[in-house]
Structure 1
């Protein structure tokens, strides 16, 4: 009898990637049936999942009662929490993560896989205190470890989609594409094609839970400097680029409100002490490749998405 895996954020980039990876894997597609959790089971993306045989449930992550119905019977759970972007002081992401962890523990879940990140406030020695979408995930990871539920932690890198969806590479009137950051050209960005690759790391963890339990997997293709990002962009697209380092106040002015401060400090953290504190990606890549998976390079992403620029 197939085991049940419950996937939060089923119609989002991360949950959707996990579901695709399971359905496309000859081993996991037989081992698991999938229950997807989404806020709106009627939207088109949800209907596509239903046609693929995914069970869909709507759940309120503020309500443990609602989560009990969502998680009941699950052998594994993939959890991603959503930041409360621009809402200063919100602890919603922390509450949601802890609620799911508590219910998963009570339901006897055998393998919780959490999309985590580092604690920016802690790792920066208190210098950077306004990146809650990192800190809250780190606190949820700490909580999961403290209650003793078997778990693996996948830490996504810097999304390649930032350059296509949010205009970080912007074409000027002179036809040159500008990348403006509040960090130097040698800062190390661990890039990931989130929709394509996050599920690969989760699938690898599911294929070998005995080795993945308790570990952190760094989901990123490589460390890329702004200089390399632009050089490869020019190579693939044939378009000209420039890098501009802007001061902190100018950068914050691009994004109004609390989110501007958050994005500024997020990037300052990437420069120092580093997105993953400079830790090597080799062990995560080796683990991925043992199961026949490979991460998507920036060049490959660009070739696939040239039309978006």
Structure 2
């Protein structure tokens, strides 16, 4: 069983980040840089290929006073060397390498200085209900959680954000029936009946929430923090797009994908090994209400300031029109 906050020490001072140049890792690192005066040392672990291919990004990171460690995430010696004097590990590795965190956890558990591990969660709560254990996209994350619970000297925090607002409130990645908002053509596809509530988190806010969790260890350790930027509905999102694009209704260009159709699209995607299969499963879970939690934990970690739906839609409009 993982150590309690009391036995593990209560402060994150020396932090190591895996996946710091990825989609969500860069947002976490940006928030850590903004708060770097509150920590002694911030380091990132990156591969030689990333250090080479993203050389300009790495130089900017170094210029912020961040320690860059180059190594092989699958090389035990490289990881153990990176862990020296680190007390907190934050992982933001991508979905395709989620299971690679299991050996990272085992090595952290063997390292006396490492006391706190944030696995790559930042999405749907994979233990939301009894059916969650059977969802295909959840399987590797469930194994990671099991490894953390088996650790003898590590505390953990799962930062559960629900879907990323930046990706949900956009053109869509699952085709014309998978939910989308197209500013140029003023067309939208709403999932379900459009009135189902969904909890969303802006990617930049994920970073703020991780930092807030670090600064509130007693409230954060050994639990799943269910946090978000805001809760809304597809219809409310559409109304905000309409308001910010001149006030005209998009009604003639709005379609709906009912849950039954979404489930069928999901089934077909898995049967044909479509790259969109995971996206359809997640969007079906969200549309079923799988991101609506009994209690939102933002207040437990200091209620950091979050972006609003209005701000998100305005940003997406500018991006699409650009």
Task: Report the counterpart of residue 285 of structure 2 in structure 1.
Answer: 269
Partners of 2:181 and 2:315 lie apart in 1 by: 18
**Over aligned residue pairs, what C-alpha RMSD do you find?**
2.9
Partner of 2:27: 17
Q: CA deviation at 1:221?
A: 1.6
Structure-1-length-normalised TM-score: 0.80
Which of these residues, 277, 292, 298, is aligned with residue 285 of structure 1? Answer: 298
Please, which runs of 5 or more residues in structure 1 have no aligned partner?
A: 85-91
**Offset at residue 235 of structure 1 (A):** 2.0
| Runs (5+) with no aligned partner, structure 2 | 1-11, 174-178
Q: 2:317 aligns with which of 302, 306, 309?
A: 306
CA contact (8 A) 1:197 1:296 kept: yes
**60, 67, 87: which is aligned to 1:75?**
87
Q: How does 1:228-267 map to 2 (within 5 A)?
A: 228-238=236-246, 240-241=249-250, 242-245=254-257, 247-248=261-262, 249-250=264-265, 257-267=273-283
Equivalence for 1:154: 159
Equivalent of 2:221, from 181, 204, 213? 213
Equivalence for 1:88: none
CA gap of 1:57–1:155, structure 2 versus 1, over 3 A, is same
Total equivalences in the alignment: 287
Alignment partners' CA distance in 2, 1:170 and 1:303 = 12
CA drift at 1:66: 2.8
Structure 2 matches for 1:102-251, cutoff 5 A?
Answer: 102-108=106-112, 109-116=114-121, 117-119=124-126, 123-124=130-131, 129-131=135-137, 134-148=138-152, 149-162=154-167, 163-164=169-170, 166=172, 169-171=180-182, 175-181=185-191, 183-194=192-203, 196-238=204-246, 240-241=249-250, 242-245=254-257, 247-248=261-262, 249-250=264-265
Deviations 1:85-118 (A, max 9, x none): xxxxxxx422x12111111111131221223253
| Cα distance in 2 for residues equivalent to 1:225 and 1:37 | 38
- Is 1:98 matched with 2:102? yes
Mapped contact 2:15–2:41 kept (Cα < 8 A): yes
Offset, 1:240: 4.4
Q: What secondary structure sits across from 1:257 in the alignment?
A: coil
Shift of 1:228: 1.5
**Equivalent pair of 1:41/1:56 in contact (CA under 8 Å):** no
Cα–Cα, structure 1 residues 264 and 3, in superposed 2: closer, same or farther, change >3 Å?
closer
Once residues 119 and 317 of structure 2 are traced to their aligned partners in structure 1, the CA distance between those partners, rounded to angstroms, is: 32
